[in-house]
Amino acid sequence: MTTLTIIQTAATTLGLPRPSAAVSASDSTTVQMVALLNEEANILSRRHDWQSLVREATFTTVATESQGAISTLAPGLRHIIGDTIWNRTTDQDVAGPVTPKRWQADLTLGVTSAPWSSFRIRGGSLLMYPAPTAGQTAAFEYVSGLPVIDQDAGTDKATYTKDGDTSSLDEMALALGVVWRWKQQKGFDISADYQQYEALVRDLKAKDSPAGLLSFGAPVARRDNIPLGNW
């Protein structure tokens, strides 16, 4: 579904005329619905670490405390996924984020010979201490705050700006979100629509990523390398 088809779906559900254009429309109803769609996409993207919004960032280290602006290293970053920063050159994880107290203590004590670096984010920059060797490859995973995909460039962005834009989020949830938000703006009862929306979001969250098996019995030996058949 695109910007236009999401708005058309919401309009049909609400019993309103289906618009032929969305972003470029001038009528107040469609303009409001596009604004509500952008609001819904922004809020829904924050409600869960959706796997469709998980990105990987890789960068080359520099021999200074600051590794650069986090917005440059990870465009659209909402937050780094814990325990995912690794130095791929040294095969070591980058510990952290450390507390400001611990960070200042390390700097004060001049801890420069640690076997690995620690990190924190401060002032919009990714800091590593002790400073790594320049030219190493490091990587981490993060959740993006850019849920919309541009129709032309195929790049992530924050809002719907073209009728052909699509989304990394579930588009039926987006359409239902527009419906209850529009009704709320107009002072209508939203209880049934909101319950339907919330039920769908809960289901999407539960099924978003496969979960490992939880066993209450004794550990089972791995059998990846055991051939099938009689043995």
Distances (CA, A) of 164 to 13, 17, 135, 155: 21, 19, 41, 13
Predicted confidence at residue 115, as pLDDT, reads 75
Distance separating alpha carbons of residues 163 and 107, to the nearest angstrom: 52
Contact of 25 with 17, CB cutoff 8 Å: no
Rounded to 5 degrees, what angle do the CA atoms 39, 41, 44 make? 105
Predicted confidence at residue 230, as pLDDT, reads 56
Predicted confidence at residue 116, as pLDDT, reads 83
Q: Give the domain ranges of the chain.
A: 3-50+169-193, 53-144
* Mean pLDDT of each 10-residue bin along the chain, 231 residues long: 97 97 96 98 97 98 96 96 95 94 91 82 96 96 98 96 97 98 97 98 93 62 53 50
Q: Which of 10, 70, 62 is nearest to 38 (CA)?
A: 10
Predicted confidence at residue 215, as pLDDT, reads 63
Predicted confidence at residue 186, as pLDDT, reads 96
| Structural tokens at position 230 | 């009689």
Q: What is the pTM of this model?
A: 0.86
Predicted confidence at residue 192, as pLDDT, reads 97
Predicted confidence at residue 202, as pLDDT, reads 97
Distance separating alpha carbons of residues 39 and 31, to the nearest angstrom: 13
Predicted confidence at residue 49, as pLDDT, reads 97
First-to-last C-alpha distance (Å) of the chain: 52
Predicted confidence at residue 194, as pLDDT, reads 98
Contact of 65 with 129, CB cutoff 8 Å: yes
| Structural tokens at position 83 | 């325990």
DSSP-assigned states of every residue in 2-45: -HHHHHHHHHHHHTPPPPS-STT--SHHHHHHHHHHHHHHHHHH
